[in-house]
Structure 1
Amino acid sequence: MAEDTNQIAYEIALERERLGRHVSELEDKFQEATNWRTYVRRNPLTMVLSVFSVGFILAFAFVRK
């Protein structure tokens, strides 16, 4: 019986360690997904075109007639 208890405790410890790694990986992925610098680094052309488009629209929106 003591051997079964030790085995269960060992398996619980292993599972906690595994879950801890998964939580850590999820935290890293979340940080990366919400970091705008990562998006700019991965999609530089899209970001340049987006900024240009917003600037163009704002320029026409505030032009005095």
Structure 2
Amino acid sequence: MKIKTICAWCGGFISETNCPETKNFQALAKDGVMISHGLCPACRLAIETKYGLNKKGDDKNV
């Protein structure tokens, strides 16, 4: 079975890996592929810039 990770914001492909099948994989997968979401580097940078996140020496964004 494969797990495919796509960007939650832009829908772009991030990665695809093989994983062991579980007893419920057929209910979770479509055509043997499970979809997971993350953020691609471009969207992550855009979000950090827009909201002022990931700045050093300040805990206001915690």
Normalization by structure 1: what TM-score?
0.25
> Higher helix proportion, which one?
1
Structure number with the bigger relative contact order (C-alpha 8 A, sep ≥ 6) is: 2
> Higher strand proportion, which one?
2
Rg larger in 1 or in 2?
Answer: 1
Normalization by structure 2: what TM-score?
0.26
